[in-house]
Amino acid sequence: MDPEMEAMIAIARERAKARPMMVVDGNPQEEIARALERHAERLRLAANGLFRVGTANYLGDTAEGTSATHNVRVAVVTHERSIYNRMMTQASAADGMADGMRRLRQDLERREREASETIRQAAQQAGG
């Protein structure tokens, strides 16, 4: 193998050691759900920071400052399509996807139990 490629692979392996694996406990749906919840929380934190910035008048009590603050407030916070509202919508969607992943996991586990029970019963009937 190319020495440069070997060096790149070694670096990638070292970097991978520092990062947790996606499937920590053997349940990929739960890990994805947790990642979605972390994403939703980060979105909410960022949106709340934007809310504070978008509602404060940093330009002073002048006509220009008041007008600029109003425009920023509308674009960032109060408009139905504001950045804040969109981020909060995305956070809610991520929470919904996390719930969906957990329901999927439960459904898969239920189906696996049912299938193993069916196989067990078929094996008993065939053997006995």
75 Cβ contact list (under 8 Å, min separation 6): 54, 82, 83
Instruction: Give the pLDDT confidence of 25-44 residue by residue, as tens digits.
Output: 568 888 899 999 999 999 99
Mean pLDDT over each residue of the chain, to the nearest integer = 87
Max CA separation in the chain (angstroms): 91
> How far apart (Å, rounded) are the C-alpha atoms in residues 124 and 6?
54
Instruction: Identify the pLDDT of residue 79.
Output: 93
* Paired tokens of 36: 């979605």
Q: What is the pLDDT of residues 47-57, one digit of tens each?
A: 999 888 888 88
Q: Are 76 and 54 in contact (CB under 8 A)?
A: yes
Is pLDDT at 20 greater than 50 in this prediction? yes
Report how far apart, in Å, the C-alpha atoms of 40 and of each of 35, 57, 94 are: 9, 28, 6
